[in-house]
């Protein structure tokens, strides 16, 4: 299983949707055990500056950027599936 890193901002409406999709999927098999490191970029700007992205939410899987910006449920599912590979 690969590590997912998510960059977000608390006030971002796209991030709130992403969290809702993630919460829904994490209740289901086979996603229950996924590890997601969530980084609020305004609280940890020095860490966020080490990564190459402009929009949130942004997802990395094992250090590789796989999604940036607004996201839909099926895209979150595809991310989770990739992390399980």
Residue 1 has a pLDDT of 85
Spatial CA neighbour of 3 closest among 49, 74, 66: 66
Residues of the chain with pLDDT under 50: none
Q: What is the pLDDT of residues 47-61, one digit of tens each?
A: 999 999 999 999 999
Determine contact, residues 56/8, Cβ cutoff 8 Å. yes
- What CATH number should be reported for the domain holding residue 25? 3.40.30.10
**pTM above 0.85?**
yes
Write the CA distances from 8 to 5, 16, 60, 73, integer angstroms.
10, 9, 12, 16
Number of domains in the chain: 1
Residue 30 has a pLDDT of 96
* Collapsed DSSP state (helix, strand, coil) of residue 5: strand
Q: Which domain holds residue 76?
A: 4-84
């Amino acid at each position: 299983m690969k590590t997912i890193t998510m960059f977000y901002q608390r006030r971002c409406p796209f991030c709130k949707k992403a969290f809702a999709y993630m919460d829904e999927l994490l209740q289901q098999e086979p996603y229950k055990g996924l590890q997601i490191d969530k980084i609020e970029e305004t609280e940890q700007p020095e860490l966020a500056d080490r990564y190459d992205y402009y929009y949130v939410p942004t997802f990395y899987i094992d250090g590789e950027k796989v999604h940036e910006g607004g996201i839909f449920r099926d895209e979150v599912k595809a991310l989770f599936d990739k992390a399980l590979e």
